[in-house]
Amino acid sequence: MTHKEKRTIIIASLIAFLCGALLLSFKAGWLIVRYPSYRHDIAQQKAALQVKRTPITFHYFNDHAWHTEKSELLWGQDVAHNMQYLINSWLSFLDEERLMKKKVTVSTVLLSPNSNDAYISFDRNPLDKEASTYAKWQWVEGLLATLRAQNITVPNIHFLVYHQPLVDTHLDFSNPWPIQGYSTQNKP
């Protein structure tokens, strides 16, 4: 093997090694390639993060009557994030007023790609096992009324616990609930 052949093999080996190292670092996330349009994407993300104080109304059923409570929340452009923040605020309000036996929070709110369905995943079952069917139904209607009051236009709401359909002995959550609810009387 001549000196020129050895040199060619060494150079080819180094090039192959460097290409492999670059590919490995890119796949492992050690090397990040940003394209020139990333500044435009960052500007769009900053615009989406702009929030404003918005008056909101909580609806809830207690002592055989509908009640409302006014508050203010920070409201942004992301509908799913707004829904999660609104529902968690509503749940915190109910907890502070001692209208729920246990503290419940929403872990995730996801929207379907066409925004026709919202998937609300709670960290535990929000409905009291000993409550009547009517009380559970009014709890759901209060949540839906609170969402409607903020002009949430997602037509169908799926209730989940740990990303599985909420299971209740009285109400069926295997199908989505319409945001308009099922109540025809005393609707908030």
Max intra-chain CA distance, the chain: 97
Predicted TM-score (pTM) of this structure = 0.72
pLDDT at 28: 81
Mean pLDDT of 115-129: 94
Convert the pLDDT of each residue in 62-111 to its tens digit: 988 999 999 999 888 889 999 999 999 999 999 999 999 999 999 999 99
| Helix, strand and coil percent figures for the chain, each rounded to 5 | 40, 25, 40
Q: For residue 51, name the pLDDT band (cuts at 50, 70, 90).
A: confident
Mean pLDDT of 114-123: 94
Q: For residue 4, name the pLDDT band (cuts at 50, 70, 90).
A: confident
Strand ranges, E, within 96-188: 106-111, 117-122, 156-161, 164-165, 177-178
**Residue ranges per structural domain of the chain:** 3-48, 52-178
Q: CA quadruple 141, 147, 150, 151: dihedral positive or negative?
A: negative
Which of 2.60.40, 2.60.20, 3.30.70, 3.30.300 would CATH assign to domain 52-178? 3.30.300
26, 38, 48, 58 from 42: Cα distances, Å: 22, 6, 10, 34
**Other CB atoms within 10 A of residue 38 CB:** 10
Provide the mean pLDDT of the chain: 88
